[in-house]
Structure 1
Amino acid sequence: MAAQTGRVFFLLIVISVTTSFYLLTWGNSITISIWQDFSVKNNSKGEGGLFGHYIFWQKGRNLTPHLAKINETTLSSSVTKSKSDQTWSAVPETPIPILSRQSFKKFPLWDFEDVYNEDASPRQTTCAQSLRNSKDEFFQKSFLPNIRLFLHKDNINMSEWNRLSHFNNPFGFMEFKYNDVMASLKLIPKPKEPLIPPKQGGDGCVRCAVVGTGGILNSSKMGAEIDAHDYVFRMNGAAIKGFEEDVGNRTSVYVHTAHSITASPYFLKEYGYTSAPHDEGIKYVMIPEGMRDFNWLEGLLKGERISSGPYHNKEPRTYYSGQYNESRFYVLHQDFLRYVRNRFLKSQNLNASFWAIVRPTNGAFTIFLALHTCDIVSAYGFMTEDYNKYSNYYVQRFTKSKVIFYSNHDFSMEKDLWKNLHDRKIIKLYQGKGGKV
């Protein structure tokens, strides 16, 4: 026992001497890592638990939001403070151990779950009718006007990687390998202009239409009204040719995943759909849904064939019909996607064993993108209370397929939310001929 105690004591002396040597040798540049436990409210056993991850401090740098909970007692026992400038020194960070979705029986609620990156200041508006001026208590409490919308190479670093690695896709990088994903993240350019530039003249209001694919638009004759908006958002299989009278013919912003832009021409071929919208000057917005999307991004941004994954050897740029332009291409930030889910569409299905595939639809993300970039938002082709009266898609003029409630989307919750936002005068929802926007 005495010998064992002696060995432990000797080891402590060695560590102390080594640390002192580095402190004396490197001074302010000394880099020290901290092991800190993060609290998670449920783990694979369905009970309270702790997951340890490496956290690092960089000299002269502010804490990221999820590190703010570390108290001074923890710090004083883990880190050495620089005597000259009283700032924390740091080591080059490394990726945290990869977390597996299978480790959790249900949605893991981290203590920094509802903390998000925000941009410096929200878009200013002179529009008196702007949804940003809403006095609705629910909306004011939930809405973050300056939530960070877009991901790019300048706002991703190791600290951000480690934070976002706690969340499953598309809300983060859980289960992904750092080098696999960073190959594409380092290519994403910082947007050179806002997604929706203000319109000149008029009353200062930016009016946007978000057009879904629902059968409620069949014979609606809403096309002219949709096109009269300043900007028109579409997503997924946005068939236009032959449907202009009902859905309009303009597209300002097209929101997609790698799957939706590649699969839509195949599934909608019989309805005359050949490619994604490609109006001159169109803005493309991508939802980074999974690893296949990062493979897609790498090929797209490099202008090359995809080297791996399910789209191996495909040329992404060919799917944009000559309208791809780096300055008009945007990637939604995982914080924005998670915020939409957490604040507005937090389904009870997140408590089920299949929690990891549950997420809002591309249409839902598109509506919220419009809410954060426009003053007045009208939604067409989205599910309403009488959805059973209509075909699933507006392209199905002569057939009536029922809406299939897949487990990855909570359609009922989205339907209720659109009606709720309409009633609160946040959006204007087209509800059929008897209930226009």
Structure 2
Amino acid sequence: MAVQTVSGFFFLIVISVTATFYLLTWENSKSISIWPAFSVKNGSRGEDGLFGHYIFWQEERNLTPPHALFISAHLPKINETTQSSSVTKPKRDQTMSSVPETPIPVLSRESFKKLPQWDFEDVYNQDASPRQTTCAQSLRNSKDEFLQKAFLPNIRLFLHKDNINMSEWNRLSHFNNPFGFMEFRYNDVMPSLKLIPKPKEPLLPPKGGDGCVRCAVVGAGGILNGSKMGAEIDAHDYVFRMNGAVIKGYEEDVGNRTSVYVHTAHSITASPYFFQQYGYTSAPHDESIKYVMIPEGMRDFQWLEGLLKGERVSSGPYLNKEPRTYYSGQYNESRFYVLHQDFLRYVRNRFLKSQNLNATFWAIVRPTNGAFTLFLALHTCDTVSAYGFMTEDYNKYSNYYVQRFIKSNVIFYSNHDYIMEKDLWKNLHDRKIIKLYQGRGRNT
């Protein structure tokens, strides 16, 4: 009898402790576990991503971040192998729309041993409709199965103050930079995001004639040394360049026009130092040039705030630098664009998803600035020719076309999968999606 009494008493204690734990974790879950639900047409493609009502934060994931582990005990388990959840989403009338939306807890890259795969990993914002074209040769008319499956012609290209809000912040906070805001604090980044102007005109105004927009994208590869491709490059409607775009003295090989210059805060500030011995003094600054920035990390948002305000940078590695001086008088709010994190992630996920993303250093792995530039051209032009990009015989050439009298081997840094990019450029060329310059006598 005494044993039964003790057992019953112990059972009551367990029930009381468990109930208290549930109540406490429920209160905590109401404050931090809110996540904007997706209403998506056409399945995982996300052709019409709409964000608005709230559901429990855990339900839109297939991984449980470390800071949620303390509430995960009483929630349905999420299967990391099948990447699916046993949670049933609440109906719209069960949502907690009355709860104020706040930033989710900051996620740390160190919490993940490899690239985390969220349920909404391959969901992207897209604009209302793709650019219309009358060009018969446009890549948009391609019947290539690979391109049709992966290519999103109306993927949202640019980030600006009108398309970033708390729901978007919370969604993008699940992705490491430059694909999102993981590890960043809302109050550190949002002030600069709210300064980014909405583009007043398309990146590339339409041309006359047959309606085709023909673009050249020029990299820095040594294959252009002695190529005499300058005239052919300049004959395109628009010319894209990126990073240390050395032109003076190399016009015969690389041309002298720049319509769009793609950069990060690092590339626009560091290139004058890296390439000063080759005569490089500043980024291209043709009249009416368009500048496109890749928001690579916190230093880029610090740079953006100074640039958009017309002030010195107030914090970070570029403290007291004056961003507008790096654009040689050509900075203009109406001709300045910031690439959207969804576009950057889409390029990685659909075209350049390296196996290195499964390694412990996954968080630094991303496509090169040249890759992002080439895909920007593919989404804004009808036909694209690529010059100075890595080819199968890259060992024959110097790392950079400016190195005329020495041969430096390509350095394979761990943050880029150069071989994967090389293979993709050749694949796109063979599929007649782009025209890749492969050296004199091999440009077929």
| TM-score, structure 2 normalization | 0.83
What is the deviation of 1:52? 7.5
Distance 1:416 1:33, change over 3 A: closer
Corresponding position: 1:75 with 2:90:
yes
What aligned pairs does 1:324-335 form with structure 2 within 5 A after superposition?
Answer: 324-335=331-342
What is the deviation of 1:376? 0.3
Q: Is the 8 A contact 1:292 1:310 kept in 2?
A: yes
Distance 1:373 1:35, change over 3 A: closer
Distance 1:138 1:348, change over 3 A: same
Identity over the aligned pairs, expressed in percent? 82
**Hey, what does 1:57 align to over in structure 2?**
none
Distance 1:42 1:401, change over 3 A: farther
AA of the residue aligned to 1:290: G
1:292-346 deviation digits (Å, cap 9, x = unpaired)? 0000000000000000000000000000000000000000000000000000000
For residue 197 of structure 2, the aligned residue among 168, 185, 189 is 189
Structure 2: 5+ residue stretches without partners = 1-8, 27-52, 73-83
1:390-433 deviation digits (Å, cap 9, x = unpaired)? 10001111111100000000000000000000000000000000
Q: State the SS of the aligned residue for 1:254.
A: strand
For residue 412 of structure 1, the aligned residue among 396, 411, 419 is 419
**Hey, what does 2:256 align to over in structure 1?**
249
1:231-252 deviation digits (Å, cap 9, x = unpaired)? 0000000000000000000000
**Hey, what does 1:219 align to over in structure 2?**
226
**Hey, what does 2:290 align to over in structure 1?**
283
AA of the residue aligned to 2:132: Q
Between the aligned partners of 2:377 and 2:239, the Cα distance in structure 1 is: 9
Q: State the SS of the aligned residue for 1:40.
A: coil
Between the aligned partners of 2:235 and 2:104, the Cα distance in structure 1 is: 50
Between the aligned partners of 1:348 and 1:70, the Cα distance in structure 2 is: 25
Q: State the SS of the aligned residue for 2:326.
A: helix
Aligned length: 394
Between the aligned partners of 2:134 and 2:285, the Cα distance in structure 1 is: 31
AA of the residue aligned to 1:171: F
Between the aligned partners of 1:209 and 1:199, the Cα distance in structure 2 is: 15
Q: State the SS of the aligned residue for 1:263.
A: helix
For residue 176 of structure 1, the aligned residue among 181, 184, 193 is 184
Between the aligned partners of 2:93 and 2:184, the Cα distance in structure 1 is: 30
AA of the residue aligned to 1:426: I
What is the deviation of 1:197? 1.1
What is the deviation of 1:74? 3.9
Q: State the SS of the aligned residue for 2:61.
A: strand
Between the aligned partners of 2:285 and 2:386, the Cα distance in structure 1 is: 21
Q: Is the 8 A contact 1:38 1:111 kept in 2?
A: yes
AA of the residue aligned to 1:432: G
What is the deviation of 1:104? 0.6
Between the aligned partners of 2:85 and 2:214, the Cα distance in structure 1 is: 44
**Hey, what does 2:127 align to over in structure 1?**
119
For residue 317 of structure 1, the aligned residue among 313, 324, 341 is 324
Corresponding position: 1:345 with 2:360:
no
What aligned pairs does 1:18-37 form with structure 2 within 5 A after superposition?
Answer: 34-37=56-59
For residue 298 of structure 1, the aligned residue among 298, 305, 321 is 305
Q: State the SS of the aligned residue for 2:424.
A: helix
What is the deviation of 1:434? 1.8
Q: Is the 8 A contact 1:35 1:52 kept in 2?
A: no
What is the deviation of 1:5? 7.1
Corresponding position: 1:101 with 2:109:
yes
Between the aligned partners of 2:71 and 2:263, the Cα distance in structure 1 is: 36
What is the deviation of 1:111? 1.1
AA of the residue aligned to 1:99: L
1:203-261 deviation digits (Å, cap 9, x = unpaired)? 11000000000000001000000000000000000000000000000000000000000
Q: State the SS of the aligned residue for 2:291.
A: strand
Between the aligned partners of 2:394 and 2:236, the Cα distance in structure 1 is: 25
Corresponding position: 1:128 with 2:136:
yes
What is the deviation of 1:90? 3.4
What aligned pairs does 1:371-390 form with structure 2 within 5 A after superposition?
Answer: 371-390=378-397
Q: State the SS of the aligned residue for 1:232.
A: strand
Corresponding position: 1:336 with 2:358:
no
Corresponding position: 1:39 with 2:39:
no
| TM-score, structure 1 normalization | 0.85
AA of the residue aligned to 1:118: Q
What is the deviation of 1:72? 10
Between the aligned partners of 2:235 and 2:152, the Cα distance in structure 1 is: 28
Q: Is the 8 A contact 1:38 1:50 kept in 2?
A: no
1:253-291 deviation digits (Å, cap 9, x = unpaired)? 000000000000001000000000000000000000000
Distance 1:51 1:290, change over 3 A: farther
What is the deviation of 1:75? 2.0
What is the deviation of 1:50? 7.4
Distance 1:109 1:50, change over 3 A: farther
For residue 173 of structure 2, the aligned residue among 140, 165, 171 is 165
Between the aligned partners of 1:334 and 1:301, the Cα distance in structure 2 is: 19
Between the aligned partners of 1:51 and 1:361, the Cα distance in structure 2 is: 38
AA of the residue aligned to 1:169: N
1:147-178 deviation digits (Å, cap 9, x = unpaired)? 00000010001111000000000000000000
AA of the residue aligned to 2:308: L
Structure 1: 5+ residue stretches without partners = 16-30, 54-68, 82-87
Q: Is the 8 A contact 1:43 1:108 kept in 2?
A: no
Distance 1:381 1:5, change over 3 A: closer
